[in-house]
Each structure stands twice: as C-alpha cells, then as structure tokens.
Structure 1
C-alpha cells in the first residue's frame, strides 16, 4: 500500500500539504493509497475530507498492514517528536520529495523538485524541474503581458519572520510604487489585524486577502512577490513574473532561479522595496516578458504525473 504523509503547521506553512495532496489525488485514481496528515487545529478548514488526520492516539498498527508491502511517500520540511513515531514504522520503502530532511529520513528514493541538493549516493534520485509538482487546476495565462499593475504578495501560511508586516510598512513609505496595486495574502486569523495595520498606515493601494481561490487569484494578478517555494513554481507555470525575497534556507533557491533568469531576486526583505521600485520602473517590459516566457517553458505542469507514475511503478515492483 502507498501511504502519503506530510504536515500542515504554523512552522511548515501550507505548500507541503497542497503538494502532497496533488500527488495523492492523482495516485488514488490509479492505485489504492491513503493520506495521513499531522496538523494543528487552526488549519482544520483547509483539509480535504479524504485526508486522515494523524496523531499519537492512533495505533500505528492500524496504519501499516504487515501482510502487504508498504511504501511511505513523505514531504517533510522538518522532523518533530510529535510525528516522528510515524516515520519509525516498518515501511518497506521510503520516498521523499523534500530535500530539507533527506539526511534524517534516509529514503530509498528521492524526487528533487528544487533542482539543487545532491542526495546521498545510496539514494535513487530523480532530479530537475520536470518533477516540479504543479496543481492540476491551475490555468496557463495566455494573455500577452503589456505591463505589471496588480501584484500578489504571499510569504507563506506561517510567515515565520513577519515578512508580510515588514513589507507592508516599507511599502507604505514608497512613492514610486503608489500607482501599483498589491493584493496581500494573510492567514484567515490575521486578516482583521492586517486590515487595521493598513488602515493606520493610510495605504490605499493594498488589499488584504485571506484564503483566496488560488486559481482565480493568479488570473487577477500580473506579478507575484514571495520568498520562493511552491507559489514561485506555480506562478512560473501560469505565466506571471516572480519577484522573490531572500529568506533563511530558502535564499539558495531564489538565487539559483534568479541566476537562470527565471525570476527576479529582490534581496533581503529590508532591501526589497528599493529593488522592486528599480525593477518595475526601469526594467523594459520586453525583458520581463522574455523572463516569463522562459520560466513558463521550463515547467510543463506534468511533474506530478511523472512522480505518480514512478511511485506506482516502484510499488508494483516490490
């Protein structure tokens, strides 16, 4: 049996959950599988009804069927004692799609969707952007981009370093960006707080949004600001220019994509507004359009299917 496992917490954000959900949904139409999720109460409204929430009250022998071969497919940005018991089960084979914990998990197979980490030699690896997981409901933007006017800002569901607040404060002082509109995504329980902040700062070009339909959201904007991660690749696929902030362990991905001229690197959060002003007011739209075209070509949206087909092939070969 194929078992998917990931986490959805304030520390992890939501990208790992949606990425794993995409793999699970595509797999269950072809092969029997289950999806277990470790999460926190505030995220209960986002969980698909077919997903099983896991905690230590569940006896592990009810998850693992010892009479058959069991494969664990996990996407874990960190390891915590709260869910580590799940990983210590006697799985016959481990597959990971997250490079952050590859040393701790020591998987048999690894899908490198961020194209940077070199896994241990004893791990069978599938590398490159062809394995980038893109949700199947996203719609390619076929509209010719003539200018950037409305920009979506998303620093993740956890926003571990208050990047959203820092960005809003800096943006409120920018005269060069007053003619651009910013739609800023925040967690549902933070919307009122951020609405009040924007009101106090007397900023008129910021709209605070929580829990948007991302398919529709990408159609409403023509620029994305983030700190890397899943929204970067989604925007690249859809056909929207990405402006990313360098933050913590994510900065290596931002720098790598920027060097390849697939996104624009805004630097650290304290430098991001100045960098954004320069990019939006001095870069020719033709140069940005070429970057978007290159980015859209390197991600074809079939990465999820490639991974799922390989997982099923591995499972049937046990």
Structure 2
C-alpha cells in the first residue's frame, strides 16, 4: 500500500502528533508498505526529523499568518485556511504521489470539510483524534485515549460505517517500549528513588523548570532526577544550565531512550499528552499538569483511575502544589506500587499492531 500522513508540529502544536504518526509509519514500513508525509513548515516543525527517519516528506510553505475561517477550536494551528491547505495537499498528491491507498490525518485544525475535499484523492481516509469536538468524513477513526465516556464520544461525529478504534488498547507505542516491557519488573515498594520530569517536546510555558524549582525545595539529594526536553523546547538552554548545578539532576535532550528512563523511574512529573500511554506501558504513575486545552479532560479521567494525581491547568499550578503532591506519594498516602499495577493493566504495548491490522482489512 501507499500511505500518506498529513500531520504538523510546531511550538504551539507540540511534537506528539508527529511522533505517534512516525510510530505507526514505522510499523507500516516494516510490513513493506510505502509511507509518505505531508507537513507544513511552521515554527518548530519536524520535517527534518521525519526525513532523517527515512521518509519522503513534502513540506507545505509557512504562511506566516493566521486565517481562522472555520469553527474548529484549533483552527489557528494551521496558520492558513483549510481550503488552501486542502488545495496544497491535493496538488502534492496529484503531481508527485499519484495513487494513495490510505490518507491518515492527525490535526486538530482539520475536519470533515477538509476531508471531503480529499476523499477523491485517496481510496480510504483515517483520522487520529483526541478531542471529539468536530465532524469527520473517514473510514477509520483512532482515539487512543481514556475518557469516562469514550465509547460514545464520536457517535454523531463520524459516518455510520466508520470503524472506531477507541481506548489505550490502540495506543501507538515505539518498539523500545514494547521490548522493555517484556522484561519489566513490577515495583516492589513505594519508595521514591528516581523521578522523571518531562513536559513534551516544546513545553512553551516552561513547566519543566517549575517542577525542578519545587523538587529543590525538598530534601531530594538522595533521589535521582532525570529531566527530558525536546529539541524544539525554547527553554532548553536555560533548563540545561540549571540542571548542571546539581549532581543528582541529569539533563537529556532529544533522546531515543525514553523507555529506559521510564522503566527506572518511580514517579513522573509531566503533562497529560501522548506520553501517558508510554508511561502506562512501563507502569509509571505521575503527577500531572495539563499544558493544553485538549489534555484537561484526559487528565481528569486518568486521575479518576487512581493512577495519576492531577493538579490542574499549568497557569493554575504553582511550586507549592507540586510539593504537596510529592508529599502524598512520599508519605504513601498514594501507593506507587498499586498505581503501577493499574497502569500496566491498561496498556499492553500492542496497539500499533492492532491499528495496522485494521488498515489491512480494507
């Protein structure tokens, strides 16, 4: 098959959409299918990374302006009109790609209007979404997240014949997580020895430094702290400088060994993005701070599971809130061992195989 991904990354969008598409692309490529990306060159784009991973990527030009001409909540992420984006995508398919078996769209700014323009240029359309806030015209819809009402969220938003792949059983995880899970040891006690701090690829509000300030107000000299930032993080130099002052804080940037860090960590302080399911595959509970609108509902649902402890939106959370949450884990008011076991039961790491198998049924 020939599979085309339409996905963007930017300082505003973050990197999670591209990263999960790359995970799915890897599995498709391993099974002998051709994979191509179409992505816009926004500030903080990952076109070069996609190309480095061995994929042909057609880069849409940066428009340097925002045209909010549709009713999607994230319309401004596109930085152009949906009509122009659709025309540019159609042009690339018509001139360079030709026949497309699956067009896979992972973009909060695109909806059924865009998809209706592309339906004649691909045999099938798949949408990856998390929000359930707009209509789609697609054959398959994937939402790998856990919500309290996840079975009903898309009831009136997709065609009646659309196949819904819903919940963490379809979580798109890289091979490193699948491989390490095979030899994963359950946490034997509730003692905190290693903490992982990670707020996504961009972290525009610098929650990373907020968490580090909170940790250093406690007596954490005997605890190892791993700090991970993405290459598109605008604060990475400031964070690196801060970490260098303390022998127990380890700075990591643009890494490919996140599974290893998650496996050795006892607790994470992080956002509620796509790395949630990576954590659960590794049995790692967290103190959560939502850094984007689309993370709020997910974080609330995760808190209800008794695995993660949700503090609230980034602008509402201060260092003392983080300290208070750490005390709850430190005093065993919340059991790390029980939280870890619950997480492992939710994500088995085999989601990408299930998704590709569904694609191959058509």
Shorter-chain TM-score: what band? 0.7 to 0.9
Q: Is the 8 A contact 1:239 1:296 kept in 2?
A: yes
Structure 1 residue 228 displacement after superposition: 1.0
Structure 1 residue 2 displacement after superposition: 2.6
1:53-92 aligned at under 5 Å gives the runs 53-56=57-60, 59-65=92-98, 68=99, 70-79=101-110, 88-89=117-118, 90-92=121-123
Q: Which runs of 4+ in 1 moved over 6 A?
A: 84-87
Structure 1 residue 257 displacement after superposition: 1.0
2:146 is equivalent to residue 98 of structure 1: no
Task: Measure the CA separation in 2 of the matches of 1:87 and 1:11.
Answer: 26
- With over 3 angstroms needed to count, the CA separation of the structure-2 counterparts of 1:310 and 1:102, relative to structure 1, is farther
Task: Measure the CA separation in 1 of the matches of 2:94 and 2:321.
Answer: 50
| 1:27-84 alpha-carbon deviations (Å, 9 max, x no partner) | 233353323042557746633442222223773313442xx5632112224459xxx9
RMSD: 3.0
Task: Measure the CA separation in 1 of the matches of 2:45 and 2:129.
Answer: 24
Q: Which runs of 5+ in 1 are unaligned?
A: none
| 1:146-194 alpha-carbon deviations (Å, 9 max, x no partner) | 322111111111113221233233333x225454332111234744322
Task: Measure the CA separation in 2 of the matches of 1:302 and 1:264.
Answer: 26
Give 3-state SS (helix, strand or coil) of 2:266's partner: coil
For 1:225, the equivalent position in structure 2 comes to 269
Structure 1 residue 13 displacement after superposition: 2.1
Q: Is the 8 A contact 1:78 1:100 kept in 2?
A: no
Q: Is the 8 A contact 1:110 1:126 kept in 2?
A: yes
Task: Measure the CA separation in 1 of the matches of 2:115 and 2:27.
Answer: 23
1:93-242 aligned at under 5 Å gives the runs 93-100=124-131, 103=134, 105-116=136-147, 118-121=153-156, 122-123=158-159, 124=162, 125-138=164-177, 139-140=180-181, 141-146=184-189, 147-172=191-216, 174-188=217-231, 190-198=235-243, 205-212=248-255, 213-242=257-286
Aligned pair partner of 1:281 in 321, 330, 351: 330
Structure 1 residue 230 displacement after superposition: 1.9
Count of residues paired in the alignment: 305
Structure 1 residue 283 displacement after superposition: 1.8
Q: Which runs of 5+ in 2 are unaligned?
A: 62-90
For 2:338, the equivalent position in structure 1 comes to 290
Give 3-state SS (helix, strand or coil) of 2:323's partner: helix
Q: Is the 8 A contact 1:228 1:245 kept in 2?
A: yes
Q: Is the 8 A contact 1:267 1:275 kept in 2?
A: no
Structure 1 residue 208 displacement after superposition: 2.4
Q: Is the 8 A contact 1:37 1:51 kept in 2?
A: no
Task: Measure the CA separation in 2 of the matches of 1:209 and 1:26.
Answer: 26
- With over 3 angstroms needed to count, the CA separation of the structure-2 counterparts of 1:49 and 1:205, relative to structure 1, is closer
Task: Measure the CA separation in 1 of the matches of 2:265 and 2:286.
Answer: 11
Task: Measure the CA separation in 2 of the matches of 1:44 and 1:63.
Answer: 17
Task: Measure the CA separation in 1 of the matches of 2:47 and 2:292.
Answer: 28
Give 3-state SS (helix, strand or coil) of 1:54's partner: strand
| 1:125-161 alpha-carbon deviations (Å, 9 max, x no partner) | 2222211222122112215343221111111111132
For 2:31, the equivalent position in structure 1 comes to 30
Structure 1 residue 99 displacement after superposition: 2.7
Give 3-state SS (helix, strand or coil) of 2:360's partner: helix
Q: Is the 8 A contact 1:9 1:39 kept in 2?
A: no
> Structure with the greater relative contact order (CA < 8 A, sep ≥ 6): 1 or 2?
1
Structure 1 residue 21 displacement after superposition: 1.4
| 1:220-245 alpha-carbon deviations (Å, 9 max, x no partner) | 42222111122211111112222211
